[in-house]
């Protein structure tokens, strides 16, 4: 077991890779009552075509299968309901599916060892039947219906269809009612057996627990250790073109009252070594914070002109692309878009701006490290995005200069953007 430190944060991470390939990251806190466990597979809604480890054949599954699987992993042959099991010790169990990950989480105060053991048990013993798969469809379709009534959600989905030509993010994580209806137990087993192998999974624990005990449990858990096969997982990589799919669209949404806009700028992200990549993305983040954050002249001016009431800006890497995303609530959406572009092109940035926002970023990292569950999320995202945790992130942030930020700004393909507005339906 190797011990690594998150430098400048007083956090130690114990790392180990088991013979079966499962990667462990353990972050004990000496002064907490709670523990948080996240058992995750590197499998999410963005997997479209892959080679099944069961049949050895290339296959495509209906949209929403990763999310469907997340629901069904809770089903147990012995009839014990994981929700009931965990409530016996006052712990909570939950799960979530993203584009790249499916996570099973447990948090609680008591009974750590049994609760961890049972998490490994229940996730590693799938039990899918025609009947229980059929029954889940009503639940999932109601989940999809819930999201379909949320204006922001409709706009997010639609704006991804403008932004991406091929990337699976064009489709909602949960799929569609018709794709969900096509899912069978055979499809679920195929995906499960391929992607829920220990070598494709992570176990992260933070909070109040004993490192040695975790190791002991993981090494002795029968259900986990009966899965020794380490088959290579082959997923067909979708190469998303740099160009946006569609430049502009207007839609009418039933229950929208104040018009809303989503505006995205899509730029390529060069292949970089992990720490360089992290530095690049944080520099982009600092740039967007300086230009569009709380203390920006942009925001103050726009509010004075009453051009928007709500406004958010963020930037994120999607594979080898960097996406700047703007969300606003505005009665003059086209003017907002023009002002964003103008600001990107013209606003001067100073060394003082960069230093001030670096201080903000560093402080936010400290605050996040104070919340064990937040730190688990950060660690897991690093594992997926960079292949490893960025242990010296504080030093990297400190090293960022005005030149780094300007460079990132010069790389932006400002005209490669797409824009969607949601208007109310005339009644």
Smallest distance, Å, CB 90 to another protein?
3
Cβ 75 vs Cβ 128: under 8 Å = yes
By the rule CB under 8 A, 32 interacts with another protein: yes
User: Of 226, 306, 350, 401, which one interacts with another protein (CB under 8 A)?
Assistant: 306
User: Of 211, 360, 374, 413, which one interacts with another protein (CB under 8 A)?
Assistant: 360
Other C-beta atoms lying within 10 Å of the C-beta of residue 59: 15
Catalytic residue among 70, 136, 158, 329: 70
201-223 exposure pattern, b = at least 16 Cβ within 10 A, e = fewer:
bbbbbbbbbebeebbebbeebee
Site for another protein in 247-286 (CB under 8 A): 254-258
143 in active site: no
Site for another protein in 181-200 (CB under 8 A): none
Site for another protein in 328-357 (CB under 8 A): 329, 356-357
User: Of 58, 60, 213, 359, which one interacts with another protein (CB under 8 A)?
Assistant: 359
- Binding range to another protein, per CB under 8 A, among 108-116, 121-129, 217-225, 244-252: 108-116
Q: Which residues pair with 183 in a beta bridge?
A: none
- Binding range to another protein, per CB under 8 A, among 87-95, 112-120, 182-190, 337-345: 87-95
By the rule CB under 8 A, 79 interacts with another protein: no
By the rule CB under 8 A, 31 interacts with another protein: yes
By the rule CB under 8 A, 142 interacts with another protein: yes
Q: Which is nearer to another protein, 1 or 310 (CB)?
A: 310
Cβ 50 vs Cβ 56: under 8 Å = no
Q: How many residues bind to another protein according to rule CB under 8 A?
A: 60
DSSP string, 28-96: E-TT-S-EEEEEEES--TT--EEE-TTT-SEEE--TTHHHHHHHHTT--TT---HHHHHHTTT-EEEEE
Dist CA 128 CA 140 (whole Å):
16
Smallest distance, Å, CB 166 to another protein?
28
- Binding range to another protein, per CB under 8 A, among 135-143, 231-239, 264-272, 280-288: 135-143
Q: What share of the chain is helix, strand, coil (3-state, %, to 5)?
A: 45, 20, 35
Q: How large is the C-alpha radius of gyration of the chain? A: 23
Dist CA 194 CA 192 (whole Å):
5
3-state secondary structure (DSSP) of residue 25: strand
User: Of 145, 178, 184, 226, which one interacts with another protein (CB under 8 A)?
Assistant: 145
Smallest distance, Å, CB 89 to another protein?
6
User: Of 19, 77, 130, 149, which one interacts with another protein (CB under 8 A)?
Assistant: 149
CA atoms within 13 A on the CB side of 418: 23
Angle between helices 130-148 and 151-163 (to 10 degrees): 100
User: Of 37, 66, 116, 140, which one interacts with another protein (CB under 8 A)?
Assistant: 140
Angle between helices 333-346 and 297-304 (to 10 degrees): 150
Smallest distance, Å, CB 320 to another protein?
31
User: Of 20, 59, 76, 89, which one interacts with another protein (CB under 8 A)?
Assistant: 89
Q: Kindly state the DSSP code that residue 168 receives in the 8-state scheme.
A: G
User: Of 303, 314, 320, 399, which one interacts with another protein (CB under 8 A)?
Assistant: 303
Structure tokens at 348: 């001067």
Q: Which is nearer to another protein, 135 or 230 (CB)?
A: 135
Q: How far apart are the first and last CA of the chain?
A: 64
Q: Which is nearer to another protein, 8 or 21 (CB)?
A: 8
By the rule CB under 8 A, 91 interacts with another protein: yes
Angle between helices 333-346 and 274-292 (to 10 degrees): 120
Binding site for another protein (CB under 8 A): 10, 31-34, 81, 83-84, 86-91, 93, 108-110, 135-140, 142-143, 145-146, 148-151, 254-258, 293-297, 299-300, 303-304, 306, 309-310, 329, 356-357, 359-360, 363-364, 366-367, 369-370
The catalytic residues are: 70
């Amino acid at each position: 077991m190797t011990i690594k430190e998150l430098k400048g944060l007083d956090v130690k991470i114990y790392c180990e890779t088991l013979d079966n390939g499962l990667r462990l990251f353990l972050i004990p806190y000496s002064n907490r009552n709670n523990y948080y466990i996240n058992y995750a597979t590197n499998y999410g809604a963005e997997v479209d075509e892959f080679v099944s480890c069961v049949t050895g054949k290339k296959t495509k599954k209906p949209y929403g299968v990763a999310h469907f699987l997340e629901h069904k992993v809770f089903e147990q042959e012995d009839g014990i309901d994981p929700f009931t099991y965990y409530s016996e010790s006052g712990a909570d169990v939950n799960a979530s599916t993203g584009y790249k990950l499916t996570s099973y989480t447990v948090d609680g105060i008591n009974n750590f060892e049994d609760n961890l053991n049972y998490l490994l048990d229940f996730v590693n013993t799938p039990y899918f039947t025609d009947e229980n798969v059929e029954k889940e469809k009503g639940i999932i379709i109601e989940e999809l219906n819930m999201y379909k009534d949320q204006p922001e959600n409709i706009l997010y989905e639609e704006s991804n269809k403008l932004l991406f030509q091929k990337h699976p993010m064009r489709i909602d994580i949960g799929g569609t009612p018709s794709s969900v209806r096509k899912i069978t137990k055979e499809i679920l087993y195929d995906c499960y057996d391929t992607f829920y192998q220990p070598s494709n999974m992570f176990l992260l624990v933070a909070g109040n627990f004993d490192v040695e005990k975790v190791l002991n449990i993981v090494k002795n858990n029968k259900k986990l250790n009966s899965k020794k096969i380490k088959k290579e997982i082959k997923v067909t990589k979708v190469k998303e073109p740099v160009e946006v799919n569609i430049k502009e669209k207007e839609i009418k949404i039933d229950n929208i009252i104040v018009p809303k806009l989503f505006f995205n700028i899509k730029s390529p992200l060069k292949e970089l070594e992990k720490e360089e990549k992290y530095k690049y993305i944080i520099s982009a983040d600092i740039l967007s914070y300086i230009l569009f954050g709380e203390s920006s002249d942009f925001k103050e001016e726009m509010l004075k002109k009453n051009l928007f009431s709500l406004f958010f800006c963020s930037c994120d890497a999607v594979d080898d692309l960097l996406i700047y995303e703007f969300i606003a609530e505005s009665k003059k959406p086209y003017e907002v878009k023009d002002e964003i572009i103008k600001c990107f092109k013209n606003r001067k940035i100073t060394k003082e701006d960069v230093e001030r926002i670096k201080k903000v970023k560093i402080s936010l990292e400290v605050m996040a490290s104070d919340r064990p569950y937040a730190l688990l999320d950060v660690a897991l995202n690093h594992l997926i995005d960079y292949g490893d945790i960025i242990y010296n992130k504080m030093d990297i942030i400190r090293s960022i200069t005005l030149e780094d930020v300007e460079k990132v700004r010069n790389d932006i393909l400002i005209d490669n953007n797409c824009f969607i507005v949601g208007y109310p339906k005339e009644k």
